[in-house]
Amino acid sequence: MLLASRLTRAFAFGFAAVLLGIQLEHRHLKPQQIGIALAIGLLAASLLGLPAAAAARRFGRRQILAVCGLLMALTGFDLAFATSGTLLTLAGATGMLGASVDLGPFLPIEQAMLAESAPPAGQPRAFGHYSLTGGLAAAAGALAATLASSPQRLQGFFVLFAVAGLATAALPLFISSRSESAVSGPMLSRTSLRPLATLSALFALDALGGGFVVQPVIAYWLHIRFGAGSNVLGPSFAAIALAQAASFELAPEIAKRIGLVRTMVFTHLPSNVLLLLVPFSPSLAVATGLLIIRYSISQMDVPTRQAYVVSIVPPNERAGALALTGSVRGVAQAVGPVLAGFAIQAAAFGLPFFAGGGLKIAYDLALYSLLGRTRHKAGA
């Protein structure tokens, strides 16, 4: 049931990433407003992680997951039917436009449940399967976006987004009550906060760079730079999502051989060099090809990062640790789309790619400098 919920909403997030910028443009929002709308979505998704994790400890994991599904439905109906620029800009205030592979109020709750279902040695693979499910569903969603060939169909897709939210609200209610945590104690102890603070600072640098190149920004940049419509963007982002999905399965195998931290760095660094090359692409085909290659290795750090975080805290603090690191990442990432909304008007210069790639390379070097030489089991 957990993976079914993940699959359902990832399908919706897959087509929303492709169509969101185009839908907001059809509703006469300017690039700066679109950037602000994306930033609000990312910020809300990040800030809701900690309250969701805390509420799940008090009211139950299944109930809070159901509430998050209802918020997703509200977002879909807003984007489908609202005509006010203010309502459209604030659509992401529910946290559902920023929810993604490694961000959003669903994730700390589901990932804590996931970590408790697997032994420590099997956690990287469990997180890999979780990410794989989302990646394949997102690919299908991006491919489905090719059907949004008119304003009416665009509206229909966001109605479908709302329906997916309602399904996501219903599915957790069928999960066994055994999924509720029986452990007690603080959500995060002082002992855990020390290493998490260091990691969160590094993750924030990575997320700040990532905010410049979140998928809706890339899709909108390709639309502005090369005139790409949903009939082209859909298959392109489906291919990107499939490349990501394959990397989620490879990451645990690589981590077995070289360790979690080295897997995070040695796959992430070259992917960000490729990101810097995208603005120099002479055609849509070249730009898309570079992005597909880039995403085939850039997301290997997602399941390994999640497994690393849960490996350094006690079981009863896993949801809190994932929510904290996710929140810090999300707040930093939310800055990117606002700046990208302004920079994207100078599409020929590709400023979001230069800013994003440069910051993410700095993160890779800092992470390896700090953690890459450790020899303990989790990071060696």
What's the pLDDT at 70?
A: 95
All residues at 6 or more sequence positions from 273 whose CB lies less than 8 Å from its CB, including other chains: 357, 361
Helical H segments across 27-150, by residue range = 31-47, 49-59, 61-81, 85-89, 106-116, 123-144
All residues at 6 or more sequence positions from 207 whose CB lies less than 8 Å from its CB, including other chains: 328, 329, 330, 331, 332, 333
- Give a yes or no: residue 264 inside a domain: yes
* Structural domain count, the chain: 1
**Whole domain around residue 144: which residue ranges?**
2-173+192-371
Based on its alpha-carbon atoms, the radius of gyration of the chain, rounded to whole angstroms, reads 19
What's the pLDDT at 283?
A: 94
- Give a yes or no: residue 186 inside a domain: no
Query: Which two structure tokens, joined as six digits, stand for 192?
Result: 């855990």
- Give a yes or no: residue 181 inside a domain: no
Mean pLDDT by 10 residues, the chain (380 residues): 89 89 89 82 80 87 93 95 92 78 76 78 80 85 88 94 96 82 69 87 88 81 87 88 83 86 90 94 94 91 84 83 81 71 61 90 91 49
Query: Which two structure tokens, joined as six digits, stand for 112?
Result: 């804590």
The H or E element spanning position 198 is helix 190-212
What's the pLDDT at 380?
A: 42
- Give a yes or no: residue 96 inside a domain: yes
- Give a yes or no: residue 146 inside a domain: yes
d(CA 378, CA 380): 6
What's the pLDDT at 346?
A: 53
Q: How far apart are the first and last CA of the chain?
A: 34
- Give a yes or no: residue 335 inside a domain: yes
What's the pLDDT at 377?
A: 41
- Cα 229 from chain centroid? 23
Rounded (5°) CA angle 355-359-362: 145
d(CA 208, CA 197): 16
Asked if residues 353 and 225 have their Cβ atoms less than 8 Å apart, the reply is no
- Give a yes or no: residue 380 inside a domain: no
- Give a yes or no: residue 265 inside a domain: yes
What's the pLDDT at 103?
A: 65
CATH number for the domain harbouring residue 122:
1.20.1250.20
Query: Amino acid letter at 355?
Result: A
Query: Which two structure tokens, joined as six digits, stand for 31?
Result: 């690039």
What's the pLDDT at 379?
A: 41
Asked if residues 209 and 336 have their Cβ atoms less than 8 Å apart, the reply is yes
